[in-house]
Structure 1
Amino acid sequence: MLLRKNKKLIFIGDSVTDAGRNYSADMAGYDSWGNGYVNLINGALTATYPDYQTMVINKGVNGNDILKLATRWQQDVLDLKPDYVSILIGVNDAWRHFDTAVFQQRDDLVDVALYTRTYQKLINQTRSVTDKIIVVGPFMFEPNRTEPMRAMVDQFAVVARQLADKNELLYIDVQSKIDRFLTQNSSYILTQDRVHPNFQGNMLVATTWLNAIDFDWKRGE
């Protein structure tokens, strides 16, 4: 498995990562992981690799795009000196182009170039504390790849993959797993709004993440 014993693992991103976590909870303590994929990953690591004593920290924040993520990177990542950092960001960067922000005529929308520059900057900064960075591609529970928002999410995912390749980082492709599921079932099995996963959707994200780090599901048998 990619992780080593007695290490600190930070998950950072938007509401998909946040998943209702208690901001007042002790770090890596009860109620701090939210109700999403981070909580499921923490449970799997605790139950299957108890001797590793992995400290799992959830630093997802509702509504974040990559610019908002960057404003808190020092406090929520660098200052904590993590051993591993898993980043999932991009769906809000696309979503703001299609919700009420359009009618507000906002000038802070993120395009591909800005997303690329900012993401690379975060990677560079993180390498001052660790080079064990995991890039999770942004995803959407929408089977039609030509649907405008899905198409833009895919553009950001391409950038995330390219940056992972360029910087020799692990890239986790959740979208391909979603797309395979959607060839057989409706998106409503996994989500209510095409963006936020329900329990089943979070299970898909968590298992994809764990499989990507070579988690041994039969360990201890």
Structure 2
Amino acid sequence: MFFEKQSKWLFIGDSVTDAGRDYQRKVGSFDSLGQGYVAIIAQALTALYPEKEIMVINQGINGHKVTDLEARWHQDVLRLNPDYVSIMIGINDVWRHFDQRFVHPNDLVDLETFRCTYQDLVEQTKPQVKQIVLMSPFMFENNLSDPMFAKLAEYQAVVKQLARENNLLYVDIQAAVNQYLKVQSSYILSNDRVHPNQNGHFLLAHTWLKALQFDWRSSDGN
């Protein structure tokens, strides 16, 4: 349903989406996809369904918050005329409240700003695309009393609410992480509770593909 022939998927977010992509490479080229979940999703689509000829675009940028997305939305999203847009944002909006907040006195994103800005991006985009996917921001953390994790839960709730109110697809990355952490340590997936390693990125990609009902069997029936 979501992977029509020659459709264009655009992913946008922060460093988790960026994952070391080469900004100088042509949009949609393999070298422009980074080394994270976006690249894994593109590899799955390319290797298993070559006849679909789906273009994947990575527009993640390190350190970005929802207000940074707002500033570049037309240039980096709407101008490229994607068929589908997948958004994951929020961890930096929360992290800046804890990461030397005196360095960021004028650009902290409170919950209401986060909500309103995100909603505006959805409203700009929804009429121009076939569907928008909202991915929950997440942490590799199972201590519910951790202050940053507790604050993140408020922003996660906003993203889930926006998906419901706007009839968008919601991918609960945090739920998948929580399930994993019942069995293994967070260090298997991340060194700093925020940035995934390759194991973590595969978990993200698999969760996203599963939510969109991707069939891992190739189209030739093998």
Q: So what's the TM-score if we normalise by structure 1?
A: 0.97
Q: Find the counterpart in structure 1 of residue 36 from structure 2.
A: 36
Q: Find the counterpart in structure 2 of residue 21 from structure 1.
A: 21
* Range moving further from structure 2, 89-98 or 107-116: 107-116
Q: Find the counterpart in structure 2 of residue 11 from structure 1.
A: 11
Whole-Å separation in 2 of the counterparts to 1:50 and 1:157: 35
Distance 1:105-1:8 versus aligned 2 partners, 3 A rule: closer
Q: Find the counterpart in structure 1 of residue 135 from structure 2.
A: 136
Distance 1:207-1:105 versus aligned 2 partners, 3 A rule: closer
Q: Find the counterpart in structure 1 of residue 170 from structure 2.
A: 171
1:70-113 alpha-carbon deviations (Å, 9 max, x no partner): 1000000011110000000000000000011x133602211111
1:169-219 alpha-carbon deviations (Å, 9 max, x no partner): 000001001001111111000000100000000000000000011100123
1:28-84 alpha-carbon deviations (Å, 9 max, x no partner): 113100000000000000011111111000000001000011100000001111000
SS of the counterpart of 2:102?
A: coil
Q: Give runs of aligned pairs for residues 1-221 of structure 1, distance below 5 A.
A: 1-100=1-100, 102-104=101-103, 106-219=105-218, 220=220, 221=222
SS of the counterpart of 1:11?
A: strand
Q: How many residues align?
A: 220
Whole-Å separation in 2 of the counterparts to 1:59 and 1:28: 10
Unaligned residue ranges in structure 2 (runs of 5+): none
Whole-Å separation in 1 of the counterparts to 2:150 and 2:110: 13
Identity among equivalent positions (%) equals 50
Structure 1 moving runs of 4+ over 4 Å: none
Taking only aligned residues, the RMSD between alpha carbons, in angstroms, comes to 1.0
Whole-Å separation in 2 of the counterparts to 1:104 and 1:133: 33
Tell me which amino acid in the other structure corresponds to 2:17: T
SS of the counterpart of 2:103?
A: coil
Whole-Å separation in 2 of the counterparts to 1:30 and 1:218: 22
SS of the counterpart of 2:59?
A: strand
